Structure 1
Amino acid sequence: MTRALDSLKGLFYKPRPLGTAVVAALWASVAVAEVVSGAQLPDGAQKVGENRYRAPGDLEKTMEYYKIVYPAGAYPRRAVVNQPGVKAVHITNPSGKNFEGLNIYEANDEVRIYVVPLQAAPAKSTPAKPAKKAEPKGGKKSR
């Protein structure tokens, strides 16, 4: 009695080199990226302020990177600004964990990335207790 695992069919399997190479290249490009507050930044991004980074490439290259890291089907995008000299896109983080989203914008021939931090939940205010009226110390009223 022979089992399927004992057959020689598995010895002649050849993996597709192109598919393996593409997956390895994508994984390597994403694996070296920096993560800030849960948001992934392109390799070579430089910090320029609090939650603000300068991307190493142009807007198209940066958006291609984010199409791989945060697919448009799962991470909605919307144009924030589209004026001469300024282009901006907001990528929403639907999970709401660690960061609200990313603002990617191009101005003055450089691309910046702003990691939108989570907004602190407003503190629930407890209703104020009504103030008690001050009672006179003696039980009797004075005449």
Structure 2
Amino acid sequence: MTRALDSLKGLFYKPRPLGAAVVAALWMSAAAAEVVSGAQIPDGSQKVGENRYRAPGDFEKTLEYYKSVYPASAFPRRSIVNQPGVKALHIVNPSGKNFDGVNIYEANDEVRIYVVPVQAVAAPVKSTPGGKSAKKPESKPKGKKSR
């Protein structure tokens, strides 16, 4: 009688890499997150204003979340403020699509997230074939005429 451990099946067994399990866990946690203007917000965040959210965890836990969602190699980081009692970090969105970046800051024992919206680009002034701008001339305000 041969036992299962003594069989040749054990020679071909290759353990699955731990990295695949970690990636799957991160993907599942990121997939459940809310998306605001293309930026992911941690699950459980509370909206406190336009593009502003209160993070459910502490500053370090929030940074860990964003390291998994937006890797530092592809999304550069900049320190905004480093004062006693205040920490702030800006994550740049290099593509510039949907949002310019994400600000994460801690003040008064509270972690907040601000999704920096894309700046509206002013429309260029069209010119006519004669080289003059197509803007209408400004009319002067009408008022009483002095005699």
Secondary structure in 2 aligned to 1:25?
helix
How many aligned positions are there?
122
Q: Distance in 2 between matches of 1:92 and 1:20?
A: 27
Percent identical residues:
77
Q: Which has the larger radius of gyration?
A: 1
Say if 2:106 and 2:112, in contact at 8 Å, map to a contact too: yes
Say if 2:92 and 2:102, in contact at 8 Å, map to a contact too: yes
Which structure 1 residue ranges, 5 or more long, are not aligned?
1-11, 132-143
Q: Distance in 1 between matches of 2:98 and 2:70?
A: 15
Tell me the residue number matched to 1:99. Answer: 99
Pair 1:62 & 2:54 matched = no
Tell me the residue number matched to 2:89. Answer: 89
Per the TM alignment, residue 20 of structure 1 is displaced from its structure 2 partner at its CA by: 3.5
Secondary structure in 1 aligned to 2:56?
coil
TM-score norm. by structure 1 comes to 0.77
Q: Distance in 2 between matches of 1:72 and 1:51?
A: 22
Matches within 5 A, 1:2-81: 12=12, 14-16=14-16, 18-81=18-81
Shift in CA distance, 130/50, structure 1 to aligned 2, threshold 3 Å: closer
Q: Distance in 1 between matches of 2:69 and 2:58?
A: 17
Q: Distance in 2 between matches of 1:87 and 1:21?
A: 32
Q: Distance in 1 between matches of 2:42 and 2:66?
A: 8
Q: Distance in 2 between matches of 1:83 and 1:129?
A: 50
TM-score norm. by structure 2 comes to 0.75
Which structure 2 residue ranges, 5 or more long, are not aligned?
1-11, 128-132, 137-147
One-letter amino acid of the counterpart of residue 85, structure 2:
G
One-letter amino acid of the counterpart of residue 64, structure 2:
E
Q: Distance in 1 between matches of 2:135 and 2:123?
A: 21
Shift in CA distance, 17/109, structure 1 to aligned 2, threshold 3 Å: same
- Deviation digits for residues 11-69 of structure 1 (CA, Å, limit 9, x no counterpart): x4544163332222112111111111000111111110000001000110000111111
Tell me the residue number matched to 1:135. Answer: none
Say if 2:88 and 2:106, in contact at 8 Å, map to a contact too: yes
